[in-house]
Each structure stands twice: as structure tokens, then as C-alpha cells.
Chains A and B, each alone.
Chain A
């Protein structure tokens, strides 16, 4: 990718309110791939990475989001093979989403303002596709007090504002 041209990110200024118990910021760019396969083994053989088999489980940079769907969020520059002629679909979606990092003791509470899943009982290392009010997101619990929220680029400013509103 050209270094001569500037990347342009959605308007998502960091938030760390005084005593808010939560900080929200935009993560660095990542390589993202949507991976689909009828047989996980075929996918593993193709990409040379182990893929988690249980929905909601993660393994390294890879999250299993559905019976035949995975999301890889890896460092920029990660390139996967196209999988031509195999019963798989590998699609580069690096720029489709951005990642908001929601961190702090109130991180789960702030997300639950609009996310209907039980984040108190959402183990570290789990990831799932869900919603925040009407907006689709992928929530990935990185640590006890840190969540990664993957959201499509154009929804990110709204989501950031909604989270800041919930934190305030």
C-alpha cells in the first residue's frame, strides 16, 4: 500500500472522561479477512493457520462467528491465498470495518447500554457478532476490562458517540 497517500479514518476522537471508568479509542489499522468454508479443515490446510471450531471461540487473530464463518483480524500486511477452486470464500475486508477499543472497569457496562448480550458472562477470548442498538458489531473480549468492537466504517462515528453518551 502506498505510503505516499494518507489514510483517512472515520471521525472517532478518543474519549477518556475524568473518572468515567472507561476509555474509548480507535485502534490502529488492521488486515481483515472474512473466511467462509464448508469444511474448516480445508480452510486450515489452505491458509496454514488453525481455526477455532466452536462458534464464539477465538484462536489467535481468528474468531469463529458462525457455522461456516470466521473473521481474521491481523496485523497490516497479512495476506491470505484466494482459495480458487476450493469450496471456500476468502474476502479482503480490511477497510470495511474499524476497531473501537473500549477499556476500563466500566467497559462492559457501557457496551451493555445498547448491546443485548450478557457481557458479564462473556469470557475473555470470546467473540461474537451482535448489535449495538440498530448497528451490527463484532464484540471481542480482549481482557477482563477491555473489549474490541469491530464496526463498519460509516457507523463508527455514531457508535463512538453512543458509547460516549452511555459513559457520561
Chain B
């Protein structure tokens, strides 16, 4: 035996040597090794430092339940993954792994002083100690505690990998490819069922991989599954969550085990809808609770057998077993037969099956029945154990370098519990097993509590003559919770396991208490003197094991993060140097700078053009809904605040939409095209929300109305041509519509053609100037835009963006819902009382407008605000006070909602909501800013052309 690698045995490929490093030291292992097995083979026993006490820790397990051996793997910039279980990291050539939570090194960790101070760090210590002063928490306590207690470092660089995702459907999904899972899959072989079999390990087999007697069966079975046309096999795939209606989330790891990951996706998220689910997740061996059970070299007996048989690695040169269950005996025998010295078998039971004793004798193994380990010698590695009979009397020292624990088995009921299946307690195995299903699911094999590992005794803690207050007997290895912490919680009055868990953090680490929950429960049950079922059971939540954010994000990254919607005219704007802004998912041209023009200069130029000549604006992103049917007018009359039934075809009306609470939620100009057909517009950001709201009312409140809603937002490109010269620009292009003011007045709509393309031509204005909004089928939007731009050149036409649009509308006191309103503004607050139909019997939100607090005096009202200094442009969102000399915190009476430089007025303008605003006309208010307070006067909201003369030309 060289090191700890056995001469023979294991499923590793001894012809393929793999070189890797751990904490900068180079080691060699074989293809098929995990980082854990390869380091064990090299005699490494120290894998990490514990969370709270910084105690040296080795391997406890061989699978995904491992709580101690968490490592970070780095493979180049941005590819740093912390908190991986060494038992699940497959080694590849050049793998670089490092240990965590230690400084300056794993062997010499200054944080280990916490271990000496352990007596002063009981459960709840941090909560009790670092409470005062409160202000110290954010700056001092929390950062310091986080630095000391912790897992690996969070990655700081952008992840260069990409991730795949898919949905999948199957008739039968089997989770876990141990013997029970494979049997379930074999039963479905050759049927017409679509079967998916998933397993978290790199090969199928589960527990059978650690049992050479089953390898022939396994090879044959896997071959049959591979040949069956109806079975999809997913290895390296973890089913992490079980959701409603047999929907299972799973992550397949595609490249982490490869020397050259290549260009493919790193992981793939499988979202599987299954007809039936078979859970074959197996069972996890339970540690025993005694002083020193966390010293490196103390591990689960079944894990040792996995390293022995699957990896050909001996976990030690002299191995002892502390058992409360028969299965550990068989694991010890396996070691003896492989030539590993078994120093002793200690069993807490006074009597065991005679066959076990016979076999132990045959293998020359000393047996101590009715005894327990009461201490473990060694710091970085076991060098001996202390054993005494019945928890009393003198201790005997037994020299060994490894101690196996066999505390019985815990069925893995995690996914079963996610599915809300009920659990039943079984006293004989001291565990919860699946009871009544809540989905079409069944459990098979060890996770259902059926196993042939033998019998055992359920025990909360090994008997010891030592004071329970003086020993550290670990229950939760990852969160450093000891038996005495749980007893302390009980003494402090906690009765439910849900509370005990939160107080001690037992089972709340990243391993979700896979090895600790039931021991914690047993200890609490004993301390409380009540049966386990009365103490309760903690909840299991997804994910079963930690998953990367990348896997959950799937494709949703970079350009695919979310759709970037572009209008049909966006390409022209881009080619003409537009600066864009995002509005909901849309990108819109904000302004069109010429050369090195600043935003302010560009916006001023654009505004001047609209006021003095003509401008053009892409309004395609406005939401549009076609409302059609005999009851269309009735429907709109019920939705909007103002009357709609009397609107004549060919005319437009401003519509104001409230929510049930009476507050403004959207607005827009809508046109009646025919008695039973309306063309509604909504705000850009509100399109989907308004359609949903209207559908909601239509389907649930008024299903009797013969009217239907169709989103036409994307059917139409919309070009606003605004300015005193607008008519002259479009006149030569329009056919079939008389554009003269008498025939086509303000707030009218006509259908005809423009540039030969059918158009719904609106005469409306959001600028206060003569204006048209030209709707054309989206595919022609850009061509019509270009034609208008060309036709407008002699008139000095200027394309303008959303910023100029904002300024122009603010000069006219037109509100923008969502900017000048915030979901608490009524029509009256916004100065839109005129848009509420006083005679209407009802409309959405009407009754709320009569609520006492809605009609009370002193509500915040939208008003204009003019700074004393005309050059001062207030900040949007700035707070407003009546007296700037009050003590801080001042009484704030409102805030600025819109604020711009107005080129037309040659001064700044602002809109603001101010308490009792309309009663304060001419009053001076103040906007406190750092170091000063800006004085401003309350004014009306319409700053430009108050009589509207410019519209009617």
C-alpha cells in the first residue's frame, strides 16, 4: 500500500493519472477520483475549518451530505466557485482547489481562538451580546462577525460562463439511480412511457457503486437502460426542488469536471413536468454524538466503505468503529478483508446479532459491547480514542488513526417533503418516513425506510461520564452546533423544534441538516422529556443542495437578459445619432444631438423647432388597444372617468383611468372610428397593465357585454408631426383626408392614406401646437417617417426625442402618469376634475372619490412652481417645505415631480405636488438642497399659451 491508495480495487482508472492542487500543493490522483478520495489517498486528513469555532475538520461523508469539507475551486478569471463539497468535485488535470474560512493557513488558523473561547460562545451568543449600541451593528459587529464566521468568499468578477435551460416532459421521472431507482427504470423499459432517470453522481449506481458484489448487475442494468429507446439518463444532475403538479427543477453540471470546458454551457437547468415521480433518493447514515466526533479522521462508516470500494482508498491504516447499528460492522469487515487493520469495534448495544460477533472473531477484531467512545485524541488527525463501558468508569485508550461512526440511517425525504407529502415517525429506525403522497409520487428503496442494512439502536448521545457542559459533541458540523447548545435552547424555554432550530441554527447550514436534523431532534426530545413527534419536524425547502445562480438564471443573461423592444423607426434614430433611454422594455430616442451638442442644447433646439416650425417624434411605443363590439362605448363609459357614449365617430377624447381606489393609473387619447370601434391609446409603460385591467373587468364584472379588446400596440407605427407648419409638411403626402381646420379639427381622427399607405390620422397634440399623430402599419413606419422627414426639410423639420416631448408637454401642464402621479393622486389632485363625468352613475373608482380622506382639504395637489432665479432648474424628486428655517427633520409639504429648462419661456419651470397647492397660488415655498434652500413661487400648471390658441389653427 502506497500512502492510502490500495493496490487493488475501486472504480477509478488507474491508467490515467491526474495532477491537481489543494492549497497550492500538487497531488496526483486517478480519473474517477473525487477531490475527497484523491486527497485521502495522499494522506490528507485536514480539509477545512469549522464555521464558528474554526476547528480543524476532515471528511465526514462521501456524498452530497458532506458538511465539513467545503472548498473553493478556481479555474481562471470569473470562474471561482466557493463552498463546493470536496466529495462532489471530480478531479481533472490542473484542478486548483483551496480550503476556506482559515487565516493565515489551514494548519495554522488564528480564528481557532474561538474554539478555546467556546465556553463563552453559546447558542444565541451573537444575538445576546452585540445588541447595543444599535449603531455599532452595521459598521462594526456584523462585518467583524462575518469575517470570522463564514464560508468561502463570494465571487467578485463577472461570470464568463453561459448556462442552458430547458423544459422537459416525461411520464415517469425517477430521482436517484441507486438499485431501487434503476429497478424502477428497468420496469418501464420498452414501454411507451417516456422515462427520465436522474442522479447527482457522475455514474449511475448510487450505493451499488460502493458494493463490488453488485457491479455485474449494475453494468448489465445500465446497458439495458442505455439501449432502451424510451429512457433518458441524466447523470451529474441534481433534482433540487419539487414543485406543484409534479414539476421538478434539476441542474445538470456539464463542464465542471472537464479539463477543457470548451465553449459549451456550464450547467443546464431542467424544468421537468412528470406524469409520475419515483423518488429513490436513498438514505444517509447518521453520525453519533460524542465528544470529539468532529476530529479529522472521524467519519461515517458507509463513507469509508465508499472510499474503499469505489475509489480504492483506505481512510486510515488503523481503523476503529463506533457503532449503534449493524451496518457499520459490515463496513468494518470490508476494511479488514481489504487488508486494513481494524483496531476495534465498539458498539453501544450490549447485545448484537451473533453472526456479527462470529465474523468479527474470524477476522480477529476486538469487540467492545455496551461501550461508547467518550473522547478522541488528536487535533489534525485522530491518533487514538477513549472508550468506556456503559458511560461509567475508567476509560480505555485504543490507538487508531480513523474512527468510523455507524449511527443508523435517515431516509432522504427532502423532495418528498417539498411535494407536501406527509411523513410518519418510525420508532424502530428513529426516523421519519414518507406516508401519504400529495402528488402522483411514490418512494422506493431506502428513502422509503426499506433497507437491509440490519438493525440498530436509536440513541441521542453516547453515554459519557464527563460533564455535558464541558464537552463539545457536535450535532450540526457545518454550523458548529453541539448537543449542549440544543440543551441550552431547551433550558431557555424553547419547546418546538422550529424555534430550537432557529435559536441554535441546527440544520440551517448549506447542507440543510442532512446529517444533523434527526440527532438534533432526538436530543431535544430527550431534553424536553417528550416524544419526537410532539417536538415536531423542521421544514425541508429547495434547493436540496446549493445551486449556482447561473444555473437558475439559465439563458437570461447579457442580450437575453430581457427583451429590448425597439420601435419600427428605431433604426433611423440610431443611424441619426439618437441618444436612447429605456422606458419599460422599450428603448426610445431621448434626443438627437448634432455634432458635439450637449443634451440641453439639443433639447432646446428641438423645442424651438416645434414651437416655431415643425418637429417629428416617434410615438410608436404608446400602448394601443382596439375596443370592438356593439357594447364598446358602454364598456369605455364604465372604465373611464369621463363620458364616452356621446362621442361621435371621427372624434377623439382624453380618457382618464382610475383604479378601484380612485387614484389615477393611466391616461391617453382615444378615438371613435365607428359606432362599435374605438382606438385607445395608453402610456408606453402602462400598455400591458391597462389591457390586463380592462380584460379583468370585462371577464369578471361584465361578461354580458358584447365587446372585445385586442392589443394593437405593435400593429401601428406612430409618427407625431407637431408645430405650426405641421399641416404643410404632411399635406402633399396625405390622400383621402381633407386636412383643412374646419374639416379636420383638433381632437379628430380620419382614415385615408399617407405615401400610399393606409393611415389612421389623429389630429391631437401633446405639445400644445398644431399636431398630427400618424398611425401606419408598423412595417411601413420607417419608410413613412423618412418620407415625412424629406418632405419636412423645406419647413425646417427637426426630429425630437422624449426629453423635448417632456419639456413641451410640461410647458402646457400636461401630466405624465407615473411621473407627476405616483398611485396616490386623484383626478382632482392632478387638476383633472374636469375629466370626471359628474352625471355618470358609475365608473371604475367613482365610489372611492367620495371617501372622506379623498375629499378632505389639504390633500397634495399638482401645481406649477417657478423659482425666483429663472436659471435655477429644480431637481425632480426634491422635497418642498414652507419654512426653510425649521429644525431638521423639517415638515415636508410636497415634492417636485417634473422640472425643466423651458426654452420657450426662457426660464425654468416645474410641476410639483404640494399640500393644499391650489390654495397657495403666489405663495413662496422652499426647496432645501445641500447648503441652501431654493425659493420658488406656486403658480398654475399651464406655462405656455394658456388659452390654447395655438392648437386651433
Contact = CB atoms under 8 A, between A and B. Distances in A.
A147 to B, nearest CB: 15
B714 A96 contact: yes
A2 B783 CA distance: 11
A116 to B, nearest CB: 5
Given A8-B571, A89-B707, A120-B169, A165 B560 contact: yes
Contacts of A155: 563, 565
A60 to B, nearest CB: 21
B555 A118 contact: no
Given A112-B166, A112-B168, A158 B194 contact: no
Interface stretch (B105-113, B607-615, B625-633, B847-855): B625-633
Contacts of B567: 154
A92 B715 contact: yes
Contact of B710 (A85, A89, A157): A89
A2 B754 CA distance: 10
B757 A1 contact: yes
Interface in A99-156: 109, 112-118, 120-121, 133-135, 152-155
B251 interface: no
B781 A8 contact: yes
Nearest to A159: B563
Contacts of A82: 674, 677
Nearest to B560: A162
Residue with the greatest number of chain A CB neighbours at <10 A, chosen from B164, B168, B778: B778
Contacts of A92: 715
B559 interface: yes
A154 B710 contact: no
A95 B715 contact: yes
Contacts of A34: 710
A77 to B, nearest CB: 13
Contacts of B566: 10, 154, 157
Contacts, number: 143
Contacts of B626: 89, 91
B847 to A, nearest CB: 30
B816 to A, nearest CB: 22
A89 B560 contact: no
Contact of A2 (B194, B555, B677, B755): B755
B560 A36 contact: no
B630 A9 contact: no
B778 A153 contact: yes
B706 interface: yes
A165 B555 contact: yes
Contact of B628 (A2, A89, A161): A89
B555 A152 contact: no
A85 B630 contact: yes
A16 interface: no
B268 to A, nearest CB: 10
Contact of A8 (B169, B271, B753, B783): B783
A91 B712 contact: yes
A8 B563 contact: no
Interface string B772-800: 00000111111110010000000000000
Interface string B261-303: 0000000000101000000000000000000000000000000
Contacts of A84: 674-677
B715 A94 contact: yes
A116 B560 CA distance: 18
A6 B785 CA distance: 12
Contacts of B580: none
Contacts of A93: 710, 712, 715
Given A7-B779, A120-B194, A113 B715 contact: no
A113 B164 contact: yes
A113 B555 contact: yes
Interface in B556-574: 556, 559-560, 562-568, 571
B780 A113 contact: no
A6 B164 CA distance: 38
Nearest to A3: B756
Nearest to A156: B563
B167 interface: yes
Nearest to A120: B169
Contacts of A120: 169, 194
B563 A134 contact: yes
Contacts of B677: 82, 84
A88 B166 CA distance: 39
B234 interface: no
B568 to A, nearest CB: 6
B711 interface: yes
Given A91-B712, A94-B715, A158 B167 contact: no
Interface in B688-728: 706-708, 710-716
A4 B713 CA distance: 25
A118 to B, nearest CB: 4
B780 A153 contact: no
B74 to A, nearest CB: 27
Given A2-B755, A38-B706, 18 more contacts: A5-B787, A7-B783, A29-B779, A84-B677, A95-B715, A95-B716, A95-B779, A112-B168, A113-B165, A113-B555, A118-B273, A133-B556, A134-B563, A154-B565, A154-B567, A157-B566, A161-B559, A162-B560
6 contacts: A1-B756, A85-B630, A94-B777, A96-B712, A116-B167, A154-B565
Interface of B: 164-169, 194, 271, 273, 555-556, 559-560, 562-568, 571, 586, 626, 628-630, 674-677, 706-708, 710-716, 753, 755-758, 777-784, 787
Interface of A: 1-2, 4-10, 29, 34, 36, 38, 68, 82-97, 109, 112-118, 120-121, 133-135, 152-155, 157-159, 161-162, 165-166
